[in-house]
Amino acid sequence: MNRPVRSIFRLRVLLAPLFVLCLCVVLDARPGQASELSDDLGAKRARVMDRLGRDAMLILWSAPVQRYSLDIDYEYRQDSNLYYLTGLTQEDTILVLMPGNMSHQEILFIKDKDPVQEHWHGRTLTPDEARARSGLETVLTTAQFEPFVEAILGRHGYGPVAASELTSFFDALSANRARLAILGEERRGTDEPPAVRFAGRMRGRFGGFDTINPSAIFDDLRTVKTPYERKVLVKSLEISNEAQLAGMRAARPGAYEYEVKAAIEAVHRGRGAVSWSYPSIVGSGPNATTLHYPGGDRQMRAGELLLVDAACNYDYMSGDITRTYPVSGKFSPLQKDIYRVVLQAQEEGIRAASKPGATLQDVHAKTVEVIKAGLLALGLIVDPRGEEYKLWYTHGASHYIGIDVHDVGSRTRALEPGMAFTIEPGIYIRQSALDALPRTPENLAFVERVQPAVRKYADIGVRVEDSFLVEATGLRTLSSAVPKTIEAIEAFLARTPDSKGRP
């Protein structure tokens, strides 16, 4: 080894601890220190274990890596429930919870370090890094996972978990009342996920337990966000607000939908978001009537509306915002007709959500009431007592938000502090909706009466969506920074320079 090489080697040895320290700082440089996150995770695990009971063993697997093309994978996204309890985004991760243990109730399994794989795909977490972020003290490797479970079900200890600590679970096995809690256990068939196949193998080799699906526990707990989650969600919506404003500034006649999408997603990544909450929807003209419009290649034209449904995933907290605005900066009278109905429906939905005991079903019902009246006045339906309105209002008004943008939770549960949700009424006028109706005498009579109004408002699609957080003092709008009244939108667009920098 020559002198320059030896010098470089000595420098790398000296800098290695500093590199590890910097990496840990980067891993934890999010809203709150690692201790705040790990404390939150520990409290959530305690609540889950309390619901499980002493006779249960819960196993959560990380999401599988998904193939994009040949040897290229999609960007990795962690399983929501595993992230909820560990805060870890690394693949090949498994969590085991055993509430009945005297100690070692929480055991984490992470993949062992492999220098060759790290050369290709980047560093993997060390046990100390996993402990620091998750607050989980017992960390083993994924290679030890199946031997661990087999030992426990065979009534033996394994590694740091001594048999003497497992008396409660062993007693449950002996009495045939032990439970193996695995998500997805209800999905059996040719497309069984690995977790279900694993449970089947264990049932074939060991007795004394039943398998259960603990999804109801997660659905119930995740519906009410912790104080830490609320703080991250607020930050996520702050970024999404800024991104929506950037999209509004990029919209103009002659520009392409993808330019607006690029402006939005640049803010997401530039502000530190993991990615989008869902693929950004940017639909102009007739594309605004497609709910999940996937494209982006259409050139916007003067006089059209642009519907933009976009938000970011920041530290695995996702909001949802939709705005609809005129490409030329001014709504036409016909566009205003539709927009006013949608906005009024949202306003009434907000009032409904603010009442004690309100549910998401109540919110939707109120928006339907307003939209029926508006569609009747515009000649787009003839009977407000029936379901004609569903031709033009084709989705629910609300969903929960959180780790998943369409987060878990019951729509019949009364709203309470810590819940976060959207209100998003919409009207979409498509000739194809009429054309697809069965040609019964009743439908033909209906088409004859509403066809003039459909031609009048053809290809107008409007959705207005905001994210809300229920606080002790009332409903908090997390997306209020993005203008949504006709007057506020037109005023904002009037201040936006055109492609040549002119106001």
Task: Please report the DSSP string for 442-497 in residue order.
Answer: HHHHHHHHHHHHHHHTTT-EEE-BEEEEEETTEEEETTTTS--SHHHHHHHHHTS-
pLDDT value of residue 195: 86
φ, ψ for residue 60, nearest 5 deg: -120, 130
Name the pairing type of β-strands 275-276 and 281-284: unpaired
Read off the pLDDT of each residue in 452-473 and give the average, rounded to a whole number: 98
Cross-strand pairs, 427: 462
| Radius of gyration for the alpha carbons in the chain, expressed in angstroms and rounded | 27
Q: Report whether pLDDT(339) > 90.
A: yes
Q: What residue type is 243 in one-letter code?
A: A
pLDDT value of residue 33: 53
* Category of 316 on φ-ψ map: left (φ > 0), alpha (ψ -120 to 50) or beta: left
Query: Which H/E stretch holds residue 220?
Result: helix 215-223
Q: Is 243 exposed, middle or buried (0-12, 13-18, 19+ CB in 10 A)?
A: buried
Q: Report whether pLDDT(238) > 80.
A: yes
Read off the pLDDT of each residue in 201-227 and give the average, rounded to a whole number: 96
Q: Which two tokens stand for residue 481?
A: 């920074």
Distance CA 81, CA 87 (A): 10
C-alpha to C-alpha distances, 154 to 78, 175, 211, 216, 391, nearest whole angstrom: 31, 14, 16, 28, 59
Cross-strand pairs, 139: 108
Burial per residue of 76-89, b for 16 or more beta-carbon CB atoms within 10 angstroms, e otherwise: ebbbbbbbbbbbbb
How crowded is residue 297: how many other Cβ atoms within 10 Å of its Cβ? 8
Distance CA 133, CA 151 (A): 28
pLDDT value of residue 34: 64
Q: Which of 16-25, 203-212, 420-429, 479-488 has the lowest mean pLDDT?
A: 16-25
Q: pLDDT band for position 500 (50/70/90)?
A: very low
Q: Report whether pLDDT(470) > 90.
A: yes
- Residues 6 or more apart from 244 whose CB is under 8 A from it? 264, 308, 310, 321, 323, 479, 482
- Give just the sign of the alpha carbon dihedral 487, 492, 495, 496: negative
Into which CATH architecture does domain 224-494 fall? Answer: Alpha-Beta Complex (3.90)
Please tell me the total number of residues recorded for the chain in this structure: 503
Check: CB of residue 72 under 8 Å from CB of residue 121.
no
Read off the pLDDT of each residue in 78-100 and give the average, rounded to a whole number: 97
Read off the pLDDT of each residue in 283-287 and give the average, rounded to a whole number: 98
φ, ψ for residue 309, nearest 5 deg: -120, 105
Check: CB of residue 140 under 8 Å from CB of residue 149.
no
Q: Is 288 exposed, middle or buried (0-12, 13-18, 19+ CB in 10 A)?
A: buried
Number of H helices, E strands in the chain: 16, 19
Check: CB of residue 56 under 8 Å from CB of residue 99.
yes
Distance CA 184, CA 212 (A): 9
Residue intervals of the chain classified under CATH 3.90.230.10 are 224-494
The beta-strand segments (E) located in 150-304 are 178-182, 209-212, 275-276, 281-284
φ, ψ for residue 50, nearest 5 deg: -65, -40
Cross-strand pairs, 314: 317
φ, ψ for residue 59, nearest 5 deg: -125, 125
pLDDT value of residue 83: 98
Read off the pLDDT of each residue in 333-337 and give the average, rounded to a whole number: 98
Q: Which of 78-87, 197-206, 259-268 has the lowest mean pLDDT?
A: 197-206
Distance from CA of residue 19 to its chain's centroid?
A: 33
pTM of the model: 0.90
Q: What rounded mean pLDDT belongs to the chain?
A: 92
Distance CA 256, CA 121 (A): 35
Distance CA 126, CA 128 (A): 5
Read off the pLDDT of each residue in 50-60 and give the average, rounded to a whole number: 98
Residue intervals of the chain classified under CATH 3.40.350.10 are 26-220
Read off the pLDDT of each residue in 425-432 and give the average, rounded to a whole number: 98
Distance CA 291, CA 500 (A): 32
Read off the pLDDT of each residue in 363-369 and give the average, rounded to a whole number: 98
Distance CA 54, CA 101 (A): 8
Q: pLDDT band for position 69 (50/70/90)?
A: very high
CATH fit for domain 26-220, picks 3.30.2270.10, 3.40.50.300, 3.30.70.360, 3.40.350.10:
3.40.350.10
- Residues 6 or more apart from 440 whose CB is under 8 A from it? none
Q: pLDDT band for position 132 (50/70/90)?
A: very high
Check: CB of residue 76 under 8 Å from CB of residue 109.
no
